[in-house]
């Protein structure tokens, strides 16, 4: 049997108070709709349609070609949004799962269970429900005396008795695809709100077809993220779940409640994470690494036995046994070789280093290719920007760069070079050379009195 999915992601999300469309808002630095599509991709689904509307280009940039798109030009309710997918799915057989784009905690296991329960029953429509002790804001599930679902009533339309019902509508539905669009064509506009409600298909289908339910046991899986407080709650659920799995697989975490690991991060066993560490994106942390405290890594690859503390690493790679920090910053595809030392207040941008290279403190290495056994003295800078263009610096092996040296790019420093401290180097340096690029010191005896302002005491010059 074919499987399809419709993801409703056309709304503005005004309660988020953000310029982003709600479904693109990041949860642990990842757009919330990305979690949903990623989990749909993990199960056997033939066609995925995302219904977009408000700032549709933002959602399309996030998902790219991973789904098809249907456009809801006017925001006329959930029923109207689902109907927008008709042109793409109307001729398809099989089961369609309707999902909400603001439900990032839904997981692969839950999605698979919904499909299987529906497909193994004779139901044309399966409504996914949950039981909440405090169901404020949710539509209630109405059942007859035999326990059969008969309708969903939005809370604002509930009687006092119906408000006491704790079984709620999650907004998820598994439905026979062709019957879905037949029912949606029959949904009428609400006379008060002027919208078409997807919930009305329960009553419509009940007239001629069997309708049933599937009850979620883990309520947080169907939590909708509608405001920034809900974002923090969703992040807490994800953080706790991810951290637990990692610790059970051999990752040591000191004060795990302060550690944030993204959904797609891979961490091997025998890694130690110290407090206030954040690792997100497609980062990979390999065995024996020690990360933190107070460290952030995004889209970083950290190899075996690397130590990183009090530092930032973005879109960069650090190879075996290298130490980074404290207070270092690697960014824009920095690639640090084995057994390096990138120390205090060192920034590396769009550069590579070889084996056993050191920049221990107060250096900037930008747009540079550096060989092995190179030492950057304190205050060394590769001057890569001339005010208009960026230029590259090439440094060979076994090079000593003295303190407070400026290498004015574009420039090539060949192997076995020694550069004297305080030099501003503007020309290439051939192999085996000593480079001194500074004026000779001149001492003028008894001259300082002309430069130093005299001290006054009781208006008398001393």
- By CB atoms closer than 10 A (0-12, 13-18, 19+), residue 410 is middle
In this predicted structure, what is the pLDDT of residue 75?
Answer: 86
Lowest mean pLDDT among 6-20, 98-112, 117-131, 408-422: 6-20
- Rounded Cα gap, residues 76 and 44, in angstroms: 31
CA-CA-CA-CA torsion sign (337, 426, 378, 438): positive
Residue 156 pLDDT:
84
Q: What is the pLDDT of residue 208?
A: 87
* pLDDT confidence band for 459 (50 / 70 / 90): low
pLDDT band at residue 455, thresholds of 50, 70 and 90?
low
Q: What pLDDT score does 266 carry?
A: 98
Kindly tell me if the per-residue pLDDT of 462 is higher than 80.
no
pLDDT surpasses 70 at 153:
yes
Beta-ladder partners of 284: 266, 301
CB 177 within 8 A of CB 89: yes
Helix/strand/coil (H, E, C) string of 228-248? Answer: HHHHHHHHHHHHHHHHHHHHH
- Find the catalytic residue in 4, 57, 361, 391: 361
pLDDT band at 1 (very low <50, low <70, confident <90, very high): confident
CA atoms within 13 A on the CB side of 395: 33
Residue 282's CB: how many other CB atoms inside 10 A? 13
Higher pLDDT, 457 or 377: 377
pLDDT digits (tens, 9 = 90+) for 185-210: 999 988 878 889 999 999 999 888 99
- How big is the chain by its Cα radius of gyration, in Å? 31
Query: Measured in Å, how far apart are the chain's first and last C-alpha atoms?
Result: 100
Rounded to an integer, what distance in angstroms lies between the CA atom of residue 295 and that of residue 311?
A: 5
How many residues would you count in the chain?
A: 462
- For 217, the 3-state DSSP assignment is coil
How much is the pLDDT for 460?
55
pLDDT at 456: 55
Active-site residue 361, yes or no?
yes
Is the sign of the CA dihedral 13, 17, 21, 25 positive or negative? negative
Q: How confident is the model at residue 292, as a pLDDT?
A: 95
What is the average pLDDT value for the chain, to the nearest integer? 93
258 phi and psi angles, rounded to 5 deg: -100, 0
> What pLDDT shows up at residue 137?
84
pLDDT digits (tens, 9 = 90+) for 28-69: 999 999 999 999 999 989 999 999 998 999 999 999 999 999
Which pLDDT band holds residue 85 (cuts at 50, 70, 90)?
Answer: very high
pLDDT given for residue 297 in this prediction? 98
**116 vs 459 pLDDT, higher one:** 116
């Amino acid at each position: 049997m074919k499987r399809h999915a419709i993801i409703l992601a056309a709304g503005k999300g005004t309660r988020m108070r953000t310029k982003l469309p709600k479904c693109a808002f990041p949860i642990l630095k990842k757009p919330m709709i990305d979690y949903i599509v990623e989990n749909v991709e993990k199960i056997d689904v033939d066609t995925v349609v995302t219904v977009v509307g408000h700032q549709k280009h933002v959602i399309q940039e996030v998902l790219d070609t991973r789904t098809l798109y249907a456009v809801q030009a006017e925001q006329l309710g959930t029923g109207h949004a689902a109907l927008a997918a008709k042109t793409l799915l109307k001729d398809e057989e099989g089961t369609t799962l309707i999902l909400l784009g603001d439900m990032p905690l839904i997981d692969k296991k839950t999605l698979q269970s919904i499909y299987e329960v529906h497909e193994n029953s004779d139901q044309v429509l399966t409504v996914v429900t949950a039981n909440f002790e405090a169901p404020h804001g949710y539509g209630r599930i109405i059942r007859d005396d035999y326990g059969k679902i008969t309708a969903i009533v939005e809370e604002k339309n509930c009687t006092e008795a119906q408000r006491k019902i704790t079984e709620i509508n999650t907004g998820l539905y598994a439905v026979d695809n062709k019957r879905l669009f037949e029912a949606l064509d029959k949904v009428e506009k609400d006379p008060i709100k002027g919208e078409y409600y997807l919930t009305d298909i329960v009553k419509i289908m009940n007239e001629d077809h069997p309708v049933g339910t599937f009850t979620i046991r883990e309520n947080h899986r169907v939590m909708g993220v509608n405001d920034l407080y809900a974002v923090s709650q969703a992040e807490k659920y994800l953080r706790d779940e991810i951290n637990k799995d990692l610790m059970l697989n051999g990752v040591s975490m000191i004060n795990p409640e302060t550690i944030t690991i993204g959904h797609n991060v891979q961490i091997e066993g025998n890694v130690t994470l110290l407090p206030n560490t954040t690792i997100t994106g497609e980062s990979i942390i390999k065995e024996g690494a020690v990360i933190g405290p107070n460290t952030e890594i995004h889209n970083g690859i950290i190899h075996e036995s690397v130590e990183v503390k009090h530092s930032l690493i973005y879109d960069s790679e650090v190879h075996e046994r290298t130490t980074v920090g404290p207070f270092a910053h690697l960014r824009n595809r920095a690639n640090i070789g084995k057994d390096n030392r990138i120390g205090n207040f060192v920034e590396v941008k769009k550069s590579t280093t070889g084996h056993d290279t050191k920049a221990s403190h107060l250096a900037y290495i930008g747009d540079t290719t550096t060989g092995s056994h190179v030492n950057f003295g304190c205050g060394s800078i590769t001057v890569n920007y001339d005010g208009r263009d960026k230029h590259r610096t090439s440094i060979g092996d076994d090079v000593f760069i003295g303190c407070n040296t400026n290498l004015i790019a574009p420039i090539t420093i060949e192997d076995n070079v020694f550069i004297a401290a305080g030099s501003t180097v503007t020309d290439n340096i051939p192999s085996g050379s000593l480079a001194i690029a500074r004026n000779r010191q001149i001492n003028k005896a008894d001259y300082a009195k002309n430069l130093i302002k005299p001290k006054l005491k009781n208006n008398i010059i001393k």
